[in-house]
């Protein structure tokens, strides 16, 4: 679907850079062969991205060539990029760097026409029964993503027994999103495929490719719309949630025409809005999806939309731009959805007030906090934010009134995921990076001390805790091809059960996600 003609990298590079340069490079290193052997599995043969990001100059603007050389040779913190220093030599790495910073002769277009052409509808709205094929508490269901063989398992959160295992698109990313009280769940893959799965009937009902390289998706709280954040092309794609028909493609550009990748997009329920942070432009976008937008969102008139079959607005989903002093690579929102708390890759933290429309506070935080995995709770009568650090072995506890870090809890290494529950006295954080990756710390939320360190599977990565809807049990992923999920009593911290799975990653509970629990990401 990306192109009807296959053009070799040799042809592309020859056209762009000239025969002489490429002939010299080929004489020294067969860069195509090196790339195909070591890079194409994750980044795709055409460099448009797969499990890993697209390797195009547009996606590498904030990574210098010298840094790219180091990333290829030594791997990258806070990513799945492994070191290749023992597999390829320095000359081959240099050739790869030159290749990935070389533009394609023509970057594939992925606009409304291409999106529409990719749509697959297997069941029309209202075609399937409205009652589940299985017996379980819908609000305590989990969807467990298994990256090892690109499947997902629907899990009963009361019995901890699998209900159904389903194949997924390659390399899911950004976390699936529940909708309509657990009836549907939406998946996004790295390469832009959005899939709608009917949980009651254990069947996919629609799919569409909304981008070439996708970060994540969000679903409006009323279940009407899906929005997709893309790295490539630089767009936000809005879909009709019923059958994933495309409604609008927003080109992400600033007032001067500079385009940007989208860091992530989330739903702000009380605001009837989507909120997106941009990776290459210091702005936040708020996109309103209500039928009666508040002041500041203009340009709405009634008209008929033939694809949707409903009365909609002639200029739906107006954008409100909030300019910032620096980029936001990673962010979360407070429980009231009035503030966006974000950081750049360099660790600069800022708090943006959505009502006022500007950044009001700088956040006293260092390192590389993983805020999209941050959680909140009440400590000594005031709200605090806790986040792991992807560079250093610590968890930062931030006062959400003064925005000062009140404590740094030392851990056994950099972490990635942090979780808790309103009914639990504990917060759990992994040690995802480094030699102690098999550990899981349990922190008392009132003493701010580590009370226990678990080792669910020695030598294998422990990650991504999630709680049952009542907070009584915590489930840990053993992030390994020969992995498992391990269920713990969340109060005694004793193991209750484990189920073998293929590199399980996130586990998404209906209740915790749809009620926007403060103990999990939204």
**Which position has the higher pLDDT, 103 or 452?**
452
DSSP assignment of 262-304 equals EEEEEEEGGGTEEEEEESSSSEEEEEE-SSSPPTT-----EEE
Of 32, 67, 100, at which residue does a domain stop? 100
Domain with 424 in it: what CATH number?
A: 2.130.10.10
- CATH code of residue 27: 1.10.760.10
What is the crossing angle of helices 90-100 and 31-38, to 10°?
90
pLDDT at 380: 96
When comparing pLDDT for 306 and 520, which is higher? 520
Q: What percent of the chain has pLDDT over 90?
A: 72
Residue 406, domain member (yes or no): yes
Q: How much is the pLDDT for 302?
A: 34
Q: Specify if 40 maps to a domain.
A: yes
pTM: 0.82
Q: Where are the beta strands (DSSP E) in 301-417?
A: 302-305, 310-313, 319-323, 330-333, 339-343, 349-353, 358-363, 375-379, 382-388, 394-399, 405-410
* Rounded Cα gap, residues 280 and 266, in angstroms: 18
The total of structural domains in the chain comes to 2
Integer-rounded Cα Rg, in Å, for the chain is 23
Is 367 among the domain residues? no
Q: Quick check: 312 pLDDT over 50?
A: no
Query: Residue 79: pLDDT band by 50, 70, 90 thresholds?
Result: low
Percentage of the chain beyond pLDDT 70 is 88
The domain in which residue 74 lies consists of: 9-100
The burial class, CB within 10 Å (0-12 / 13-18 / 19+), for 356 is exposed
Nearest Cα residue to 183 out of 130, 242, 240: 130
Q: Where does the pLDDT of residue 321 fall: very low under 50, low under 70, confident under 90, or very high at 90 and above?
A: very high
Alpha-carbon distance of 368 to 356, in angstroms, equals: 27
pLDDT 10s digits, 327-380: 888 899 999 999 999 987 776 789 999 999 999 998 888 788 899 999 999 999
Q: Band of the pLDDT at 405, cuts 50, 70, 90? A: very high
Q: Which residue has the higher pLDDT, 63 or 4?
A: 63
Residue 507 confidence class, pLDDT cut points 50, 70, 90: very high
Nearest to 46 by CA among 109, 77, 3: 3
Q: What is the DSSP string of 62-125?
A: TS-HHHHHHHHHH--TTSS----TTTS-HHHHHHHHHHHTSPPSSPPP-SHHHHHHH-EESS-T
Residue 60 has pLDDT above 90, yes or no: no
pLDDT score recorded for residue 191: 83
- Is 82 within the bounds of a domain? yes
Residue 238 lies in a domain: no
Report which of residues 310 and 259 the model is more confident about: 259
* Position 77 confidence tier, pLDDT thresholds 50, 70, 90: low
Q: Fill in the DSSP letter of residue 472.
A: S
126: left (phi over 0), alpha (psi -120 to 50) or beta: left
Residue 19 pLDDT exceeds 70:
no
The residue from 46, 78, 100 where one domain ends is 100
SS3 letters for 357-383? CEEEEEECCCCCECHHHCEEEEECCEE
Last residue of a domain, one of 58, 77, 100: 100
- Cα–Cα distance measured from residue 23 to residue 376, given in angstroms and rounded to the nearest whole number: 57
Please list, residue by residue across 25-53, b when 16 or more beta carbons sit within 10 angstroms of its beta carbon and e when fewer do.
beeebebbebbeebbbebbbebbbbbbbb
Residue 147 lies in a domain: no
Residue 149's CB is within 10 A of a number of other CB atoms, namely 12
pLDDT attached to residue 309: 38
Whose CA is closest to 454, among 475, 433, 471? 475
Average pLDDT over residues 414-434: 96
> Has residue 482 got a pLDDT over 70?
yes
What does the block give as tokens for 338? 């009035």
- Please say if the pLDDT value at position 305 is more than 50: no
pLDDT in tens, 429-438: 999 999 999 9
Tell me: the pLDDT tens digits for 243-283?
999 999 999 999 999 999 999 999 999 999 999 999 999 99
Give the pLDDT confidence score for residue 45 in this predicted structure: 87
Q: For the ranges 53-62, 153-162, 264-273, 330-339, which has the lowest average pLDDT?
A: 53-62
- Among 164-173, 309-318, 360-369, 411-420, top mean pLDDT goes to 411-420
Q: Is residue 506 part of a domain?
A: yes
Mean pLDDT, the chain, rounded, equals 88
Once rounded to an integer, what is the mean pLDDT over residues 180-199?
A: 96
Inside any domain, residue 170: no
């Amino acid at each position: 679907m990306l192109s009807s003609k296959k053009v070799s990298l040799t042809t592309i590079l020859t056209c762009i850079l000239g025969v002489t340069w490429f002939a010299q490079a080929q004489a020294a290193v067969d860069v195509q062969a090196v790339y195909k052997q070591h890079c194409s599995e994750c980044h795709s043969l055409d460099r448009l991205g797969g499990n890993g990001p697209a390797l195009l100059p547009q996606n590498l603007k904030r990574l210098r060539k010298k840094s790219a050389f180091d990333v290829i040779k030594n791997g990258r913190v806070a990513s799945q990029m492994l070191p290749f220093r023992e597999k390829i030599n320095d000359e081959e790495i240099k050739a790869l760097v030159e290749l990935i910073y070389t533009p394609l002769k023509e970057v594939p277009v992925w606009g409304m026409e291409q999106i529409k052409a990719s749509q697959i509808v297997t069941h029309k709205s209202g075609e399937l029964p409205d009652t589940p094929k299985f017996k379980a508490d819908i609000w305590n269901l989990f969807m467990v993503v298994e990256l090892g063989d690109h499947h997902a398992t629907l899990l009963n959160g009361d019995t901890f027994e699998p209900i159904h295992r389903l194949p997924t698109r390659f390399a899911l990313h950004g976390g699936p999103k529940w909708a309509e009280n657990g009836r549907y769940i939406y998946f996004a893959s790295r390469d832009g495929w959005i899939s709608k799965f009917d949980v009651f009937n254990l069947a996919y009902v629609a799919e569409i490719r909304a981008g070439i390289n996708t970060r994540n998706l969000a679903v409006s709280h009323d279940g009407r719309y899906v929005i997709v954040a893309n790295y490539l092309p630089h767009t936000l794609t809005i879909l009709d949630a019923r059958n994933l028909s495309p409604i609008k493609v927003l080109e992400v550009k600033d007032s001067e025409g500079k385009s940007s990748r989208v860091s992530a997009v989330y739903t702000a329920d009380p605001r009837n809005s989507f909120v997106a942070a941009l990776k290459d432009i210091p702005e936040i976008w708020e996109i309103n999806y209500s039928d009666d937008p508040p002041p500041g969102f203009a340009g709405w008139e009634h008209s008929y939309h033939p694809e949707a079959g409903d009365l909609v607005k002639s200029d739906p989903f107006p954008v409100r731009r909030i300019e910032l002093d620096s980029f936001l690579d990673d962010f979360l929102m407070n429980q009231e959805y009035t503030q966006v708390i974000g950081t750049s890759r360099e660790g600069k933290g800022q708090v943006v007030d959505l009502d006022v429309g500007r950044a009001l506070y700088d956040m006293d935080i260092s390192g590389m906090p993983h805020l999209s995995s941050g959680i909140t709770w009440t400590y000594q009568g005031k709200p605090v934010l806790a986040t792991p650090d992807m560079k250093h072995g610590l968890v930062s506890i931030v006062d959400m009134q003064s925005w000062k870090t009140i404590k740094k809890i030392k851990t056994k290494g950099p972490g990635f995921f942090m979780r808790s529950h309103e009914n639990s006295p504990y917060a759990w954080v992994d040690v995802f990076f480094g030699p102690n990756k098999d550990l899981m710390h349990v922190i008392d939320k009132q003493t701010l001390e580590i009370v226990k360190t678990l080792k669910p599977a020695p030598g294998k990565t422990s990650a991504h805790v999630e709680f049952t809807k009542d907070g009584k049990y915590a489930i840990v992923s053993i992030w390994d091809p020969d992995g498992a999920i391990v269920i713990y009593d969340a109060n005694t911290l004793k193991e209750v059960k484990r189920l073998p799975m293929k590199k399980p990653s996130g586990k998404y509970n209906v209740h915790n996600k749809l009620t926007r629990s403060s103990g999990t990401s939204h």
